[in-house]
Amino acid sequence: MAINGTIKVTRQNTSTNWHVLTSEVSGYIKTNFRDNNKRDISSDVTSADGLVRTITYTFVNQAAKNEWVEDTTVQSMLNARDTYNVANNIDLERTETES
């Protein structure tokens, strides 16, 4: 079964930047997860007021999600994202369902 997820991040004002992946991490994720269809981003939308960003994604199956969770490069990126968000008062809400 596929794992469908949504990440909703909310910032207090538009002068606070969203967390941005380094080009190295972005390339790593593309090569190891997107190019082989393990994980795909289906949308990345920012609200009209610029305060809420909603990202939807899909893991092809539980094995692909497990690989994501166990990947040290991915975990390092997620830790950096979470640290940045906390330091900048950005709230993150994540939900997942199976289909």
Look up tokens 């539980």; give the residue.
Answer: 62
CATH code that applies to domain 3-98: 3.30.70
CA distance 49 to 66: 35
* Alpha-carbon dihedral sign for residues 74, 65, 91, 21: positive
| 55-64: pLDDT as tens digits | 999 999 999 9
Domain ranges of the chain: 3-98
| 30-51: pLDDT as tens digits | 999 999 999 999 999 999 999 9
Give me the pLDDT at residue 89, please: 98
Give me the pLDDT at residue 39, please: 98
Residue 7 pairs with which residues in a beta bridge? 55, 94
